[in-house]
Amino acid sequence: MDEANMRVDRTSKSDSERRLSTLVRHLGASCSPSHTSISTEQFENSKISLSPMAAFGSVFANVVQAPEDPILGVTVAYNKDLSPLKVNLGVGAYRTEEGKPLVLNVVKNAEQSLINDPSRFKEYLPITGLAEFNKLSAKLIFGADSPAIQENRVATVQCLSGTGSLRVGGEFLAKHYHERSIYIPVPTWGNHPKVFMMAGLKPMSYRYYDPSTRGLDFQGLVEDLSAAPEGSIVLLHACAHNPTGVDPTPEQWEQIRQLLRARSLLPFFDSAYQGFASGSLDKDAHSVRLFVADGGELLMAQSYAKNMGLYGERVGALSIVCKSADVAGKVESQLKLVIRPMYSNPPLHGASIVATILRSPELYHEWTVELKAMADRIISMRQELFNALQAKGTPGDWSHIIKQIGMFTFTGLNKEQVAFMTREYHIYMTSDGRISMAGLNSKNLPQLADAIHAAVTTM
């Protein structure tokens, strides 16, 4: 085994070594200024002058470096750019008009009251998380008067933001549901297929985005879901589709609902932007509530990362709406068995903040005001960008900028145009043409408009 490892090392050394030294230089640049990159000789020498175990070598010696995350790679490149004009429209985290991250006032207040309460302890939460948080989260997404909640048909567990909720839901389905296929829209958030594959499901796809209209390919969606095997799971973005910003209309949602119910397809909602898309929590939950109202079952992954700005605290919830309270009870007990071998119980801090806010009418109201302000700023940026392009007479139809909703806009720009904008105008965005509207402000918007205009007219 050891010889095999070393043989593999020698043959693949140059490729992986080049990639690795690049990565090491990246990490060195951001971590410690005094770090020097490793040269070929040093690498070879370090291989020789090892610990006594060198004869055996590491059992992980043939592990190759993983490719960089495409979205986070944008920020890495942005950080290296020395131009004062650079604009980061890559990762989807909200920025103020001044380009700064934002901690909501209501969150600061909640945190302070938690810190100042001497009776608070940091004991383990139950496996299912903070009970009050779970109840309030379910009410938030399904509506306080939801029949599913009143009939105790909802099993809700606290999870690590949207990702964690999707993963726990996926693993539960892989263990207890009779279908393994999950239908995912094209395009979707890059992490979706990985989450479901690791959970033990089989990602399939359905058409969603139409590049020619830069809107919804409704006919394609209907065709693909009509052809899906009965009982398949269908992933739906509740609102503010990531990365396109293209959402079905309420009428289209109703048609989607009927289609799914007619074919017994199981809906799995991902709600990462409730309140953040339109500014109204109820409006952004419309699609979900439509499905719950017909009495059927569904899964719902909720995230508080964006709408409460709790990104790094990893706060979210998975709800499974069941046919009966009895089933919901059993489902909850099985969810515990998925969670326990993953991380035992969820982190306390973020959920406590959310519960503090949601349970207090004053704080809740304050939150809705701050949330609407964030959503409004983004909507105004959309309008301004559209106006700027119109004023420049940039060729093409740019109305999708104001038709799309949420944090992202799928501009329709291609890879070459994006590379051009990065080179010439220091605009950093993902190569699929997605821009994070949250990164725009009145200062850098003209530059973006210039860049788009130049890219479209010269390429």
For residue 331, the minimal CB distance to other proteins (Å) is 5
State the CB neighbour count (10 A cutoff) for residue 293: 14
For residue 454, the minimal CB distance to other proteins (Å) is 32
The residue from 217, 270, 284, 367 that is catalytic is 270
Residue 320 has phi, psi (to 5 degrees) of -120, 115
Nearest residue (CB) to other proteins, 1 versus 391: 1
Find out whether 299 and 318 touch, Cβ atoms under 8 Å. yes
Find out whether 392 and 449 touch, Cβ atoms under 8 Å. yes
For residue 75, the minimal CB distance to other proteins (Å) is 10
Find out whether 321 and 148 touch, Cβ atoms under 8 Å. yes
User: Catalytic site residue 270?
Assistant: yes
Nearest residue (CB) to other proteins, 183 versus 420: 183
Identify which of 222, 277, 285 has the alpha carbon closest to the alpha carbon of residue 245: 277
For residue 206, the minimal CB distance to other proteins (Å) is 14
User: How far apart, in whole angstroms, are the C-alpha atoms of residue 202 and residue 53?
Assistant: 41
Q: What's the full length of the chain, in residues?
A: 459
User: Catalytic site residue 13?
Assistant: no
The residue from 247, 306, 367, 398 that is catalytic is 306
For residue 439, the minimal CB distance to other proteins (Å) is 13
Nearest residue (CB) to other proteins, 136 versus 272: 272
Nearest residue (CB) to other proteins, 109 versus 394: 109
Angle among Cα 282, 236, 396 to the nearest 5 degrees reads 90
Nearest residue (CB) to other proteins, 95 versus 214: 95
Contacts of 210 (CB under 8 A, 6+ apart): 216, 217, 220
Contacts of 206 (CB under 8 A, 6+ apart): 183, 184, 185, 186, 220, 221, 224, 225, 228, 234
The residue from 86, 189, 224, 284 that is catalytic is 189
Q: Can you read off the two tokens belonging to residue 324? A: 């009966």
User: How far apart, in whole angstroms, are the C-alpha atoms of residue 142 and residue 144?
Assistant: 7
Nearest residue (CB) to other proteins, 229 versus 395: 229
User: How far apart, in whole angstroms, are the C-alpha atoms of residue 88 and residue 290?
Assistant: 37
**What is the per-residue DSSP string for 213-262?**
TTEE-HHHHHHHHHHSPTT-EEEEESSS-TTT-----HHHHHHHHHHHHH
For residue 318, the minimal CB distance to other proteins (Å) is 12
Q: Which residues are catalytic?
A: 189, 270, 306
